[in-house]
Copies of this chain bind each other. A is one copy, B any other.
Amino acid sequence: MNKPLRIGIAGLGTVGSALINLIDRKQELLRQRCGRPLEVTGISARDKNKARDFEMGAMQWIDNPVELAKSDNIDCFIELIGGDEGVAKDCVVAALNAGKHVVTANKALLAKHGVELAALAEKAGVLLNYEAAVAGGIPIIKVMRESLSANSVERVYGILNGTCNYILTRMEDEGLSFEECLADAQRLGYAEADPTFDVEGYDTAHKLAILCSLAFGTQIAADEIYVEGISSITYDDIKAAGEMGYRIKLLGVAQMTDSGVEQRVHPTMVPINSSIAQISGVTNAVAIDADIVGQLIMSGPGAGGDATASAVAGDIADIAKSRPGHQHGPALGTPSEILQSYKKARMRAHEGGYFIRLTVVDKAGVFASVATRMAEQNISLESIVQHRGGKNDNNSPDTSTAQPIIMITHETTEQAIRLALENIETDGHLIGKPQMIRIEK
């Protein structure tokens, strides 16, 4: 009963090193909680000779992570290599086929091959755990897979990318531009040199694809997500949002609708008094609306070596407690062979409220023309603000005659909004492009 759980770790970057140090530092606590010791018996990374901040001790170095994954010397394989193909996938497949439990923090891999990997885990009767892949230290996977077993989820949404939330928070707090805040985020190590993956919403989309499958028992469909990033958000949007009682967050939203599943990532107006609106800086948050329990919201650190290692260690602890013959819950919450095919709701059918910010030339009849275009699509307005003498932030030459118009609509459809805005643009009174931000209640 008290045989150690033998762990193999592939990938020894920030998270891998933090994990090895954590298992060492907390060995007694983990032994008490798991009923047996945890022991890192094998490691692998690209460069054996790189300086690392842990003692290798008795750990076996194996150059090829696929060999480590299959090694008789481990019970449990931890994939911290990253990437949605290649060696990361090869070694996870090898480990599952060899009957090893697997823990991975690799959202890209799961977003692309999660269903295939879940099927392998179920066939082998082993655990495939990936708490760290979504929202870092927030135990959202465990809660959805286990705590909500009797619930049908109706919507799951959240702030899943700390970089974007950091940028939006700084913009609001200090009145800065997107570009200024991005540069700071890069300086502080919160954003990559090429920030596209984060700021254009793709990272959020990977995480959302996993949550969506867990929520609705559908195949993972990362390519079917409507994705819009935060690079078009200006301080004027944020300020106008605040005046209307909203704050702008980059949300990933997965929602069951009558016409299929909506998966969307976009800047979103959330009521300024909501819990989600209070999530500032690099913190993440996830909200789940479920039929039995109602709404649960969880917030915490979405990234970082320690927070990620904490999540991986929790996954390992579950494996340490499991014994052969234990009936593991399916990796994606629903057995992989009965995951439903993904039926995509058309984005144009999306229903909700909208925030519209237009800059128009200041002449008689323009406002009436805009209002008429909205009315033609049966869009009713909850509020309208037109600041006389407002300043246009597009630096166009004719700012002296530019007037901002800000509108909040009642619930309408994406189709109606897009048509109205196309017509308004065609009418030719606009300076620059209209800004449209969806509202989530």
Residues in chain B near residue A146, CB distance under 8 A: 139, 142, 314, 317-318
The residues in A between 313 and 338 inclusive whose CB is less than 8 angstroms from any CB of B are 313-314, 317-318, 320-323, 325-330, 333-335, 338
Quickly give the copy total for this chain.
2
A311 vs B146: C-alpha distance in the bound complex, in angstroms?
Answer: 10
Q: Is A297 an interface residue (CB 8 A)?
A: yes
Residues in chain B near residue A143, CB distance under 8 A: 139, 142-143
The residues in A between 282 and 298 inclusive whose CB is less than 8 angstroms from any CB of B are 290, 292-298
Q: Is A406 an interface residue (CB 8 A)?
A: no
Q: Is A403 an interface residue (CB 8 A)?
A: no
A334 vs B30: C-alpha distance in the bound complex, in angstroms?
Answer: 10
Cβ-closest chain B residue relative to A27: B150
Cβ-closest chain B residue relative to A294: B301
Sampled A-B contacts (24; CB under 8 Å): A22-B292, A26-B150, A29-B152, A32-B334, A33-B334, A34-B329, A36-B327, A131-B147, A143-B143, A147-B311, A150-B314, A275-B279, A275-B299, A290-B310, A292-B310, A293-B311, A294-B301, A295-B300, A296-B298, A297-B300, A320-B327, A321-B327, A322-B326, A323-B326
Q: Are B330 and A33 in contact (CB under 8 A)?
A: yes
Interface size on A, residues (CB 8 A): 65
Taking A143-B143, A150-B317 as known contacts, 18 extra A-B pairs with beta carbons closer than 8 A to each other, sorted by chain A number, are A22-B292, A23-B150, A26-B292, A29-B152, A32-B330, A137-B296, A139-B296, A147-B311, A151-B310, A275-B299, A292-B306, A293-B301, A293-B310, A293-B311, A295-B300, A295-B301, A323-B325, A323-B326
From residue A198, how far is it (CB to closest CB) to chain B in Å? 20
Q: Are B327 and A34 in contact (CB under 8 A)?
A: yes
Residues in chain B near residue A290, CB distance under 8 A: 310
The residues in A between 145 and 173 inclusive whose CB is less than 8 angstroms from any CB of B are 145-152
Which of A307, A310, A326 has the most chain B CB within a 10 Å cutoff? Answer: A310
From residue A127, how far is it (CB to closest CB) to chain B in Å? 11
A26 vs B153: C-alpha distance in the bound complex, in angstroms?
Answer: 13
Q: Is A58 an interface residue (CB 8 A)?
A: no
